[in-house]
Chains A and B, each alone.
Chain A
Amino acid sequence: MAITERRATRPRSAPPKPPVKKGNRDSQLTAAVLFLIPASIGFIVFFASPALRGLYLSFTKYNLLRPPTFIGFDNYVAIATDPVFWNSLKVTLEYVVLNVGVQTIAALGLAVLMQRFTRSMIVRGVIMLPYLIANVIVALVWFWLCDYNLGIINAALDSFGIGKVGFFGNADIAMGTIAMVNVWRHLGYTALLLFAGLQAIPKDVYEAAEVDGAGEWRVFRSVTLPLLRPVLAFVLVVTVVGSFQIFDTIAVTTKGGPVDATRAINYYIYQRAFERLDFGYASALAVILMIILAGVALLQNKLLRANESDLER
């Protein structure tokens, strides 16, 4: 149950469907039912019914000790006027914009670098390594690198005569620091997805551009970028949806502080549920998060016309 699962598989406009043969259509139904028993238990017990239960709980007051009492839309009404919620939405957005913005641009740059200068599998393996290390470990390593007193970064800044910076302790920059830590973790992974997209662009398109005498920048803007758009759209949906659910890094470093500066929405849901035992309220917050995420995914797909390629096949 990864809460920040960013790995996803790209949905297609028309998923390939296995051919259905008329005639023996139902003959294999029994086998299918048997094959699907374990997965269906998982789906019904741990996805579908918790989703419905979560929706129900969002209309109740529930502290785990006494049975939930139905209170209609009270949780949602309370959320609408909850300054902590609005602040959490604000800092989450701040995080998403910083994280995804920097990460996408840097990854695009790195993907182009790889495309132009190397085919080494070792380079690919190395740049992807941070993505395979746990969020918790990455957060702790950077927490140590950025430590005010002894961290190498502040020690270096100090020795250059530049003042020390409270990367995690200063409310103005703590969220930015967390965003950059996760850029470090996801840069290689994102670059690798984009690199694969670049590799899929037919070589003759470049040759044609070269023949036409187009310069490097021109080729990138008029050929590479438009042809990369479907992959870029997929990467953006996955990273934005993942970013919105930032939790682990905050949980082991700032715990939402200083003050409220890094209390992202997922962390607020966690605090409401497990620190204040307010499961109804937390469930309502989770419903709102889900609606936001569905909206984001739909909007991005529309804006980027994700499923059409500019390449006529």
Chain B
Amino acid sequence: MSITAIKERRAANRASNEDDPALAKSKVAKFFGRLALVIVILITLFPIYWMFRTAFSNNRAMFSEPLSLLPVDFTWGPLKRVLGLATTQEALAEGGSGASINFAQYMLNSILACTLITVLQVTFSAMAAYAFALLNWKGRDKVFSIFLIALMVPGIFTLLPNFILVKDLGLLNSIVGIALPSMFMTPFAIFFLRQFFLGINRSIIEAAVIDGANQWRIFRGIVVPLAWPQIITLAILQFIQYWNDYLWPFLVGQTEQSKLLTVGLGIFKSQTPQGNPDWAGLMAGALVAAVPIFILMLVFGRKIVGSIQSSGVK
């Protein structure tokens, strides 16, 4: 987008904002209202900043300056430590535990598991949504409502039997075992995509039927391209959700080759000595786990905010 286009859009936004009767007019109200917003934003960002500040501090030096707003004795040590790049001596010198932790490996595991889940789940859910939104068959709406019931079941209820099932299949401690229960579908994804498929102009599809296209070609060639922005949004949302998931991957992935970032972080925390915990290392691990989310938010922020906003009112 060119700069003039951006300027024009800003000007248009401003004009429409001034017409918006919901926006406050009085200067005093504006001042206090914005002040309150600034306070909320500071409270929101401070803990995140503190994670950065601690992750770049020397764990040994931090004890003397708990109130310092900047990293204490700035160092890359904690990050190296959790990524398995520091020697035991280096780690101990900066107040690390010296235990071997490899968040680079967990990062790889997380990327593998979440990509596997997201790609398959979104594909299969889109196919199901197509059948529920755009195909005519007897019992369609009944079957759909049965699928929706699964939305109501609390996670822990199916988690226990699913754990037994994955254990019986011999898939404990594997990426596939972590992905298995969620990679076929989730009611949320089907519901989400069905909404968009319902809005697709049927005359396009009917024209394709007359041209003799089969259902798969209509799905691949027309419906998926038309709903592509929504499919991407869903994929981002689901990726973030599985990236952040904890209990299931904790139960199923305990080896180095199957531990996800959240699980590695939880275990790191429980292994850190009670007396002098490696806070810098812990925060560096948290940072490694959170940075991909920050990047997604920077790139797709507008999409993510938009989709969450619309989930409540539509």
Do A and B share a complex? yes
Give the B-binding residues of A (Cβ under 8 A): 1-5, 7-11, 16-18, 20-21, 24-29, 31-32, 35-36, 38-43, 45-51, 53-54, 57, 64, 110, 113-119, 121, 123-130, 132-138, 140-145, 147, 150-152, 155-156, 159, 184, 187-189, 192-200, 203, 206-207, 210, 231, 234-235, 241, 244-245, 247-248, 251-252, 266, 269-270, 273-274, 279, 282-283, 286-287, 289-290, 293-294, 297
Nearest CB on B from A132, distance (A): 5
Q: A4-B155, A159-B67, A266-B156 are in contact. Are A184 and B150 (CB under 8 A)?
A: no
> Contacting B246 at CB < 8 Å: which of A40, A50, A142, A251?
A251
User: Which stretch in B83-91, B98-106, B177-185 binds the other chain?
Assistant: B177-185
Contact present for A43 and B185 (CB under 8 Å): yes
Q: A2-B241, A31-B215, A46-B180 are in contact. Are A9 and B191 (CB under 8 A)?
A: yes
Contact present for B305 and A128 (CB under 8 Å): yes
Q: Which size bracket describes the interface of B in this complex?
A: 35 or more
Q: Which residues of A contact B135 (CB under 8 A)?
A: 28, 31-32, 35
B44 within 8 A of A: yes
> Contacting A35 at CB < 8 Å: which of B131, B240, B304, B309?
B131
Give the A-binding residues of B (Cβ under 8 A): 13, 17, 20-24, 29-30, 33-34, 36-37, 40-41, 43-45, 47-48, 50-51, 54, 62-63, 66-67, 120, 123-125, 127-128, 130-138, 140-141, 143, 147-148, 150-165, 167, 180-188, 190-192, 195, 198, 214-215, 219, 237, 240-248, 250-251, 261-262, 265-266, 269-270, 279, 282-283, 286, 289-290, 293-294, 296-297, 301-302, 304-305, 308-314
23 A-B pairs within 8 Å (CB atoms) are namely: A3-B156, A10-B311, A20-B136, A21-B136, A26-B137, A28-B215, A39-B125, A41-B184, A50-B158, A51-B153, A116-B23, A118-B34, A119-B23, A128-B308, A132-B296, A152-B50, A188-B44, A189-B308, A199-B313, A247-B247, A287-B157, A293-B154, A297-B152
Q: Which residues of A contact B136 (CB under 8 A)?
A: 20-21, 24-25, 27-28
Nearest CB on A from B290, distance (A): 5
- A234-B313 Cα distance, complex, nearest whole Å: 9
- A189-B170 Cα distance, complex, nearest whole Å: 39
Q: Which residues of B contact A251 (CB under 8 A)?
A: 246-247, 250, 266
- A171-B304 Cα distance, complex, nearest whole Å: 38
Contact present for A245 and B156 (CB under 8 Å): yes
Contact present for B160 and A137 (CB under 8 Å): no
Q: Which residues of B contact A110 (CB under 8 A)?
A: 40
> Contacting A1 at CB < 8 Å: which of B127, B155, B185?
B155
Residue of A nearest to B305 (CB): A124
Contact present for B246 and A35 (CB under 8 Å): no
Q: A1-B181, A274-B251 are in contact. Are A145 and B156 (CB under 8 A)?
A: no
Contact present for B160 and A57 (CB under 8 Å): yes
